[in-house]
Structure 1
């Protein structure tokens, strides 16, 4: 059964001018499903026998995926939900999910949202970090990668389960695992079992004692990227998730039979909203990469064949994925690929040009953040595309820029005026989880939301049509002698070099200018002869102004990422500070390796090795560092 184009749920939405027509109908009159469970139930009723999900075992065995129809997915969710309910999961109870992708994970997440609240956590986190986030969520049950799927995650899960005194730990197996599963080690006081076995004992009809959620109920806690500190748990309501997924699914650039490729992990909001819920709303098939997702090197070797085999129409990924794909020969028919979506970080012009030239497939940039559920803007194709922008605001979302004065007050700016981007509308989150009491989680926006407007922390321009042009993170600007430098112009320049695969620019403390730009890059494996001097000269010829030319370019084996895979500049800023201090103290016997630097109260705090047997050293160090705006101190002897 297909939904006709005239269905009021799906207005025409293929060009920017459609936005006004869409918003002429109030959102409440659109008759959206109220919850993620209603999205699933609707899909199973409309398209029971249509393929919903295909989970690949890994990139090398991509042709041996495990498929599920919409009806089977609903039955899986019912069985798992009944299991969770039997273990005491209720509306405000969190179910932790500590696992990479595998076939039963989407059903487990949707079941957690049906009975309680889903709390997916990156399984690559240290045990301590994972435990902190899951403790904050109040998780009482944990679903985790079993020993075959991810041995390290399984070890963490056992430790976390015991520490949190969870009632049950359910293990997930890899796609295509042999029939005989290894025995699971017990955990004192905890029921330990395989999820597929425990769920199979439950009926496919939903237990009458399960009270379905309402639109305003909490659906999930997603940990933020932690670009400026420790990750926080952002809460989403069912209405947040369904509304955002509908805005994305309303895209008229895809037909009803379009297939979506999913390579991002389900602890990332993009994976949930863009590649799970949005396809569920339109009855589309989504093909999920193996446990490593886009981090599997073999995926790129086989990617074009996967596109051809499944007739992939679109995918969503970060810029580094498209940079890698632009270097992979197209060895298959990729005519089904209409466009590719890029988000999570700004799209460098060099990456766009290389990918589109190599494949003939246009890139559509989007923008969003966890605190606004996921997507806030979307791009368009052909004559309606605006390559320099991050897209137009989504329906019923409002965007503007503000100037923040010295006392923290916001002042609205006119269209086209750069400032801090703020967002309002039905996707703005209710707050971070800051604790729990007898009634459930305590939420607080921690000052990020004022009168319904969310401070994104990004600098941008917004034009009269609602198109957003990103200008960088407010805290990432390099301020050289009072002159603002967007690090993206340096990164774009370096990414134009054929050997550079990644670039990140930050400010390095400077006694004369306050900051000067420096950059960190990764190189293609064969680029062993490319050095810093060549890259400095290359960038200097291509940046739009001399002040933006990097003073140094450091080659790294990999650039740091946050827990959800976004570029993480804090370690680079701290390293740049250490290098600046080492340069200032040259000749005093203090090496770069001896200098310790951390973030404290929003500033870099430098600790030097203790003074031992060097008369006058303290005074010489003090004199050399005096011109720098730094907090520094000698370590105590013996530490």
Structure 2
């Protein structure tokens, strides 16, 4: 079935959900695909970004056999239904085996390997991780070094993963280390135990909370993950002949489900671009040529990837590419228009959350793109706009909550998942996200929508990307500050850019106080613009400017950081301690509500 409208979703819903879904566990979906499409490629792994390097091709029959081997291995190491296998490795075939095999033996807990070792140690404890599957030594990606620095890692069973064609990982003399691929090969290719899987059983634990601060572990049931992964293709218009580039990490729901299990569920093929994914410069240089060679039909993106591809000349025959799907952050209409004009590839938008296995709504391929829309709700789900304007949802894809139930307050309420997104639903049932509740800039009592301001900047011919955040202000509380990156070859100062864009901003109070031109915007591991880092930078810029005018010529360095849910600033003043100067600087803050600590050196 193909979705073109809300009426199509409602028609499907006349069939009970249990009858409309092909399988209600992740393993059930993979097993079914292997049974129906065993000889088809599940993965095409690119060892590097060069076209003359032979890829590794993994069929569905091979995938299922290795998932079975991984499940047998983990069970032999004592992993049961309430235990976890932590996974710190890039999106390569072995990591896929570990992810899905862990969900059969127990629970998978994919972890961002760029987190600090102490942070990872806390996740391992919270997840009750009996086994750690980690990426071994590699010239381009030093995960192994970070893993070896995790406090207490020597007390855990570690299985080292190697990339295809790379050297076998080096082992220490400890008995609790082994090479994952070698241990896998020693296992039977069929399950040696009854996993007693059910839609209600916990399949995985995914951490969330950005790249800083204390993370939260979201529980996914098999039913949650199967629901989003099965019904997604009805929006996408994909089938077993679809080939998609999935350069997202598996510790993010985009890589694992939105663009991952959704493909495995229907027997489609994923191109996995090197251990660096979409951060591989050589792969990006040859991106369109790989699309031609592999007959790619779908691109998996976030807005920053779309912006980068706009600047990549189309130097190949890409007639096979039918759509570019994007999510992770709002899709600016100007960017979508620019990408479609540059490539001829239609863009469709997705809204997702970790707390609902990656999908809230999807724009159907076989319906026109609706500017500003995040698409139609998932089947058998409900989406509503609360009185405070925040989007809430419920359905079979919604998580039962965090492992720490105390964190559920404000997010899981009376069966509803509170998204934190502000939005509206139009007459055709399309969900429109108008901003994040915490991203809204409150100037006096006036709410400013940063996305509308960003759209004005993106309409400028020299701007590649823009992110607007709050700058603290003594008079208004907050005003807008814009951070922008420029297109290749463009050159314009922030003040001049502001003068050109200001007349296009939707209202005068929303015009940014200043524009900061930077080389790159801070992003998360999947390329989503990370606004918390920009909000801290805005505080630093404001306070640096404010204090420099009061510091009697002394050098001042302002460092802003998060403390809990608030921001604080450390201010280092060069020279001997001067309490009177510190008092004068404190007074200069006025009504700026940022706690400041002064030190002298």
What is the correspondence of 1:64-103 to structure 2 with a 5 Å cutoff? 64-103=54-93
The offset of 1:420, in angstroms, is 0.7
Change (3 A) 1:84 1:592: farther
**1:127-181 deviations in Å (ceiling 9; x for gaps):** 2222222222121111111113666211222333843621x2212222233xxx4
What SS class does the counterpart of residue 185 from structure 1 fall into?
A: coil
Q: Which moved more, 1:373-382 or 1:40-49?
A: 373-382
**1:35-75 deviations in Å (ceiling 9; x for gaps):** 11111111111122122211111222475211111111111
Which of 353, 356, 368 is the matching residue for 2:337? 353
Alignment partner, residue 590 of structure 2: 626
Kept in 1: contact 2:522–2:530 (CA 8 A): yes
Alignment partner, residue 42 of structure 1: 32
Which of 29, 52, 58 is the matching residue for 2:19? 29
Alignment partner, residue 414 of structure 2: 451
Change (3 A) 1:383 1:137: closer
Residue 581, structure 1, aligned to residue 543, structure 2? yes
Give the Cα–Cα distance (whole angstroms) in 2 for the partners of residues 395 and 383 of structure 1.
Answer: 17
Change (3 A) 1:513 1:103: same
The offset of 1:621, in angstroms, is 2.7
What is the correspondence of 1:414-425 to structure 2 with a 5 Å cutoff? 419-425=389-395
Alignment partner, residue 8 of structure 1: none
Change (3 A) 1:383 1:118: closer
What is the correspondence of 1:126-525 to structure 2 with a 5 Å cutoff? 126-148=116-138, 152-160=142-150, 162-163=152-153, 165-166=155-156, 168-177=157-166, 181-182=167-168, 184-186=170-172, 188-190=174-176, 192-207=177-192, 209-226=193-210, 229-251=213-235, 253-381=237-365, 384-404=368-388, 419-434=389-404, 445-524=408-487
What SS class does the counterpart of residue 85 from structure 2 fall into?
A: strand
Give the Cα–Cα distance (whole angstroms) in 1 for the partners of residues 578 and 202 of structure 2.
Answer: 61
Change (3 A) 1:164 1:487: farther
The offset of 1:612, in angstroms, is 4.9
Kept in 2: contact 1:505–1:517 (CA 8 A): yes
Kept in 1: contact 2:442–2:478 (CA 8 A): yes
The offset of 1:443, in angstroms, is 8.0
Divergent runs of 4+, >6 A = none
Alignment partner, residue 408 of structure 1: none
The offset of 1:556, in angstroms, is 2.4
Change (3 A) 1:541 1:227: farther
Alignment partner, residue 603 of structure 1: 566
Give the Cα–Cα distance (whole angstroms) in 2 for the partners of residues 593 and 396 of structure 1.
Answer: 57
Give the Cα–Cα distance (whole angstroms) in 2 for the partners of residues 149 and 86 of structure 1.
Answer: 32
Give the Cα–Cα distance (whole angstroms) in 2 for the partners of residues 271 and 62 of structure 1.
Answer: 26
Change (3 A) 1:162 1:64: farther
Residue 535, structure 1, aligned to residue 497, structure 2? yes
Give the Cα–Cα distance (whole angstroms) in 2 for the partners of residues 517 and 603 of structure 1.
Answer: 18
Kept in 1: contact 2:246–2:270 (CA 8 A): yes
Change (3 A) 1:172 1:189: closer
Give the Cα–Cα distance (whole angstroms) in 1 for the partners of residues 52 and 82 of structure 2.
Answer: 38
What SS class does the counterpart of residue 454 from structure 2 fall into?
A: helix
Change (3 A) 1:44 1:215: same
Kept in 2: contact 1:184–1:193 (CA 8 A): no
Change (3 A) 1:169 1:600: closer
Change (3 A) 1:318 1:150: same
Kept in 2: contact 1:40–1:74 (CA 8 A): yes
The number of residue pairs the alignment matches comes to 599
Kept in 2: contact 1:399–1:422 (CA 8 A): yes
The offset of 1:31, in angstroms, is 4.6
Runs of at least 5 residues in structure 1 that lack an aligned partner in the other structure: 1-10, 405-418, 435-441
Runs of at least 5 residues in structure 2 that lack an aligned partner in the other structure: none
Give the Cα–Cα distance (whole angstroms) in 1 for the partners of residues 258 and 577 of structure 2.
Answer: 61
Kept in 2: contact 1:102–1:173 (CA 8 A): no
The offset of 1:239, in angstroms, is 0.4
Give the Cα–Cα distance (whole angstroms) in 1 for the partners of residues 293 and 114 of structure 2.
Answer: 31
Change (3 A) 1:151 1:629: closer
The offset of 1:334, in angstroms, is 1.0
Change (3 A) 1:12 1:79: same
**1:509-536 deviations in Å (ceiling 9; x for gaps):** 1122221111112234544x42212221
Change (3 A) 1:120 1:32: same
Change (3 A) 1:133 1:61: farther
Superposition RMSD on alpha carbons, in Å? 2.4
Which of 548, 554, 575 is the matching residue for 2:510? 548
Kept in 2: contact 1:317–1:342 (CA 8 A): yes
The offset of 1:564, in angstroms, is 5.0
**1:206-242 deviations in Å (ceiling 9; x for gaps):** 11x3424221111111111427843222111110000
Kept in 2: contact 1:507–1:576 (CA 8 A): yes
Give the Cα–Cα distance (whole angstroms) in 2 for the partners of residues 307 and 372 of structure 1.
Answer: 31
Change (3 A) 1:595 1:376: same
Give the Cα–Cα distance (whole angstroms) in 2 for the partners of residues 87 and 198 of structure 1.
Answer: 11
Q: Which moved more, 1:422-431 or 1:608-617?
A: 608-617
Change (3 A) 1:140 1:187: farther
Kept in 1: contact 2:47–2:275 (CA 8 A): yes
